[in-house]
Structure 1
């Protein structure tokens, strides 16, 4: 099924891999517009969106903005040393609460991932103790892509919460061993929620394709795709993390 079929065939929440749950249409159009407006405001600084340069010399095609902690391959820090040296904006409490609500939607009692939640026990209250302290916001234009990679610069194994706004995309969730098969392809539409934790927390994943012109005008983003990912770094001030073994994510 594609986004173009959505009006005829309602999409249902589903477990796409152990610990990985897709909840279509989780964000209302109003909430999407609020997030788009917030991203525009964050993009004015103190650290703007930028194309991240990889250690090998390549430049990612997506543009990235960070809150709470600044990510660059393969480390986190409080200041954007690869951009302008400024301290990144803080992660607002309402965004933390949104992440907790997302975990309930994906892993809560009766939800599609209830038996596959981070604690492995239905009804364990997955939102309890979940305190994301960074957000990576990626903007995809018509030609941007994200190569297969792992999110493994964090010391915490808490789930990653991913929110999609704007144009639809093809999201590929692979395995935790290599960038190759097996993998599962899912079309993410504006307003969709994807949570991956547990056995899928360190699975390779990427975005091989964006579908230009597919966004619902009601989302407030006329062109392109915003992806907001919330994560727990497990870090404290004064201890920037030099990442785990290099893991290029060309995009």
Structure 2
């Protein structure tokens, strides 16, 4: 079925991403920087354009590092001995990473520098954000943390199994998001039911153990609570 093929395609893509995280120190640094920038952006009332530039900058750096890793692997397969042309190809792909990283630093300077100068402790806990920004940053952080944990512990596949249940984490996060945004007991209750069914399906399918589902749920709740409790409107 095309649905299974699509899921497998995502699995292969994320598997490549996880491999790069496990084997490339620079990718690990980029991932840490991405988490830091996304979390740091919560302290500022960014416009949609500014948030978009931040996300694009992060994506470009990670994309360039992935391409650089792929180029290095291909060259190592094709060339066993030292080759000047192979070295040039690797240097060029590495230069692409440097350029995108430099662009990201420049964008960060334009967006955050003046705001950072005016930042105070009182402002940190009273800053106001659009719910859309919080939702996007919250889900992005959870996704990155899930991928990072699976990479560190080398368990499961990108969309199946692993040290924590990503589905449970996102489901639990969605429940809290609905509560913070609506404060409707009915909507919250329905969301809890759907989250429970999601967790139950992962458990009955044998995809995750109860412990992995519980860890995923706790992760989703903690991240979402911190973000929406301290930064919501």
Pick the TM interval, shorter chain.
under 0.3
Report which of the two has the higher share of helix.
2
Q: TM-score, normalised by structure 2?
A: 0.23
**Which structure has the bigger radius of gyration?**
2
Larger relative contact order (CA 8 Å, sep ≥ 6): 1
TM-score by length of 1: 0.21
Higher strand residue share: 1
